[in-house]
Amino acid sequence: MHMLIQRLAVVLVFALGACETPVQVETMPELTFGHLPTINLNVAEVKFDNRYTPTLKPPNVEHLFPTPLGKVLNQWASDRLRPVGASGVARLIISNAAATETALKKNTSFTGIFTMQQSHRYDLKVEATLEVYDLTGKRRGFAAAVATRSQTMREDVSLNQRERIWFEATEKLIQAFDAEMEKNIRQHLVNWIR
């Protein structure tokens, strides 16, 4: 009888373990800028130069984002910058595309134990320069933009919620970058716009 109870207990443990519902991973949409008007540049070619190398270790977390910030900047340039000239090159140089995580101090008092608190802050920063070169390779002008965004996160967020928050923070960051870069292109590269 004792042996039968042990076997039933083992079967019950395995049966209950098999009942676990797998977590569904939410896929985020691609961040694109095709809905925005193109910026026509009097150059023959637009090139991308991502000089930012992720560290892939804390406190940096950009490599964990649904879409890394450097990839979003490349997509921005591909969708927004259009070469319409016969000669010259425009080069988008990405110097920063970082996201860092900072653990926040939590209230450990009696009331803090019963309160959902902000546990982490994420600081995002993108920085890029658009340089225009003539046929001889001489730099004729440039426009630069920097955008930053900080976002806190509660201690009880799920993995899907975390990725959604990261996605939305990235979207707002790139919108700020887009506005700043377009303003600076129209101000500093006015002779190269067609």
Q: What is the sign, positive or negative, of the torsion defined by CA atoms of 182, 186, 190, 193?
A: positive
Per DSSP bridges, beta strands 89-103 and 118-133 are: antiparallel
Crossing angle of the two packed helices 69-80 and 159-188, in degrees rounded to 10:
40
> What pLDDT band is residue 5 in, cutting at 50, 70 and 90?
low
- Of 100 and 29, the structure prediction assigns the larger pLDDT to 100
Instruction: Give, as one character, the DSSP assignment of residue 68.
Output: -
Full-model pTM:
0.84
Distance (Å, whole) CA 163 – CA 184: 31
Average pLDDT value for residue range 92-106: 96
pLDDT at 100: 98
CB 155 within 8 A of CB 106: yes
- Cα dihedral 147/152/156/158 (nearest 10): 0
User: Of the candidates 90, 87, 194, 189, which has an alpha carbon nearest to the alpha carbon of residue 135?
Assistant: 87
pLDDT above 60: residue 10: no
Structure tokens given for 173 = 């960051």
3-state SS assignment for residue 165 = helix
Instruction: Express as a percent the part of the chain with pLDDT over 70.
Output: 87
Q: How distant, in Å, are the alpha carbons of 17, 123, 128, 167 from that of 180?
A: 53, 18, 11, 20
Torsion angle of C-alpha atoms 27, 31, 36, 40, degrees rounded to 10: -140
pLDDT digits (tens, 9 = 90+) for 46-63: 999 999 999 999 999 999
CA 110 to chain centre: 37
Q: Which of 14-23, 33-42, 100-109 has the highest mean pLDDT?
A: 33-42
Q: Where are the domains of the chain?
A: 35-189
> Which of 147, 145, 153 minimizes the C-alpha distance to 176?
147
Total Cβ atoms within 10 A of residue 31: 17
The CATH-assigned architecture of domain 35-189 is 2-Layer Sandwich (3.30)
